[in-house]
A = this chain, B = another copy of it.
Amino acid sequence: MTVTFKDVKADLLDKIAQGIMAPGTLMPNEMDLAERYGCARATVNRAMRELADEGIVERKRKAGTRVRKAPIRQARFSIPIVREEIESKGSEYRYALIDRTLQDVPDWLRGRLALKPGQEVVRVVCMHWADGIPYQHEERWINPEIVPAVLEADFSANGPNEWLLAEVPFSNAEISFMAVEATQDLADHMGCFAGNALFRTERTTWLKETAITFVRLTYRRGHRMTTRY
């Protein structure tokens, strides 16, 4: 059986976990490891590159590879579409549009989206339910310059999220997580009391330096966002 990069990676990880290679240790170079494992250097390279990507080790040319003293712990969250998030839990999804207006971009948003004063944006407010219980409140602003079709889009049946995904194939984004106290309006929609703590995510999405949309998703009371790493 030939030695795979997964074998090498697993063995290195094991040595790190067992303390055989303590944090701060300088690891052997790729050529030596390749010889030791009886494989090609490329195989060792792949294993160590993945360890580096995961923040376990730190690689520098000439300096070599070290076990990180404080591993960069990183968590990966998948950002699902609400409908799928709800249906994957076996719940029934329901959607309703609350408001849809064309308005001058508010000042606080202008900075975020890097828009010109007086420019118009589409604001959409809607709700998502799981089994008839309020699940998520969505408030979104869309830049019609990039996505002119939004001016004709009808969000009464489907949320703007799925619609946008179809229109804008790929983009980069900045996302924030936070806790907020429910306003009276939010509380009415979410079926809780004003002042209750709610989990919120805010996301700005860009297509090559120009902002497409800013969205504020507020979850029902007690919601948790969970992941493993």
A91 to B223, CA, bound (A): 32
Minimal beta-carbon separation of A44 from chain B (angstroms)? 16
Contact indicator per residue, chain A 167-189, by CB within 8 Å of chain B (1) or not (0): 00111111111111100000000
Interface status of A56 (Cβ within 8 A of chain B) = yes
A170 to B226, CA, bound (A): 20
Query: Known contacts A73-B173, A175-B226; can you find 16 more A-B pairs with CB under 8 A?
Result: A17-B169, A17-B170, A17-B208, A56-B170, A73-B78, A76-B77, A174-B226, A175-B227, A176-B226, A177-B199, A178-B179, A179-B179, A179-B180, A179-B198, A180-B197, A197-B198
Interface status of A16 (Cβ within 8 A of chain B) = yes
Contact between B16 and A174, CB atoms less than 8 A apart: no
A171 to B225, CA, bound (A): 20
- Kindly list the 10 A-B residue pairs having the minimum CB-CB distance in the complex, ordered from nearest: A179-B179, A197-B197, A73-B79, A179-B199, A179-B197, A176-B226, A181-B197, A177-B225, A176-B224, A178-B224
Contact indicator per residue, chain A 67-80, by CB within 8 Å of chain B (1) or not (0): 10011111111110
Minimal beta-carbon separation of A25 from chain B (angstroms)? 10
Given contacts A19-B169, A173-B228, A207-B17, contact A195 B198 (CB under 8 A): no
In the complex, 8 of the A-B residue pairs with CB atoms within 8 angstroms, ordered by the A residue number, are A73-B173, A74-B76, A75-B79, A172-B228, A174-B227, A175-B226, A175-B229, A177-B199
Interface status of A196 (Cβ within 8 A of chain B) = yes
Q: Tell me which residues across on chain B come within 8 A of A76, comparing CB atoms.
A: 74-77
* Chain A stretch 153-179: residues in CB contact (< 8 A) with chain B: 162, 165-166, 169-179
Contact indicator per residue, chain A 33-52, by CB within 8 Å of chain B (1) or not (0): 00000000000000000000
Given contacts A178-B223, A180-B179, contact A169 B77 (CB under 8 A): no
Contact between A75 and B77, CB atoms less than 8 A apart: yes
Given contacts A73-B79, A76-B75, A79-B73, contact A169 B227 (CB under 8 A): no
